């Protein structure tokens, strides 16, 4: 198992299930800690100061939004959730939107577009993940990253909806990810 990265420590501090080897999520006990943060550290550490806009689908209590805010010190952080959520704080905005609805996703994303990073941590339903890819890739900056978390379906179903001009890596697995059936799909524009 890898050593905890600084991003893992931020995940633990903000109680997000993205990593940090802890069992608290939004202040509640959970049996899940995905350990995605070592992968994210490897991908984003070198560019963290140049990232200016991050969009995450699936907010719950805002734990990962606070983690991203601290990790990307120059970024506006935007969250979209099916539930009405409060604004979390300085540099963080949350919009209500249904991941199954392309117009709702696009309306929420348009506020701060384009994005350096878009993360889908929403419902984890394959049809919603497909809809989100199709809806939000146009809001990604050239060179930006789109990450779909917690893929439980045949990843080829997601790849099939990616338009030309995007590069993808599948599946990204890491020895630290503690659930063998969970994968990350990473798409890069340009």
| Catalytic sites, residue numbers | 124
Distance of CA 136 to the CA centre of its chain: 12
Q: Could you give the CA distance from residue 124 to residue 12 in angstroms, rounded to a whole number?
A: 22
Q: Could you give the CA distance from residue 147 to residue 184 in angstroms, rounded to a whole number?
A: 7
Q: Give me the helices (H) in 75-160, please.
A: 102-109, 126-136, 155-159
- Residue 44, CB half-sphere, CA atoms under 13 Å: how many? 31
Q: How many residues does the chain have?
A: 190
Residue of 45, 58, 52, 50 whose CA lies nearest to 18 = 58
């Amino acid at each position: 198992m890898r050593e905890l990265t600084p991003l893992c420590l931020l995940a633990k501090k903000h109680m997000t299930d993205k990593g940090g080897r802890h069992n608290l999520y939004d202040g509640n006990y959970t049996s899940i800690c995905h350990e995605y943060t070592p992968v994210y550290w490897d991908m984003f550490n070198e560019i963290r100061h140049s990232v200016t806009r991050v969009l995450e689908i699936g907010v719950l209590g805002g734990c990962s939004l606070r983690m991203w805010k601290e990790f990307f010190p120059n970024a506006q952080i935007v969250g979209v959730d099916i539930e009405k959520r409060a604004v979390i704080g300085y540099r963080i905005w949350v919009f209500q939107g249904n991941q199954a609805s392309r117009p709702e996703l696009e309306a929420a994303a348009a506020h701060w577009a384009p994005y350096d990073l878009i993360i889908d941590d929403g419902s984890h339903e394959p049809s919603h993940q497909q809809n989100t890819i199709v809806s939000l890739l146009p809001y990604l900056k050239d060179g930006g990253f789109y990450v779909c978390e917690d893929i439980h379906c045949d990843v080829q179903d997601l790849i099939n909806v990616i338009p030309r001009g995007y590069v993808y890596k599948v599946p990204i697995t890491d020895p630290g990810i503690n659930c063998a059936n969970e994968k990350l799909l990473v798409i890069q524009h340009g």
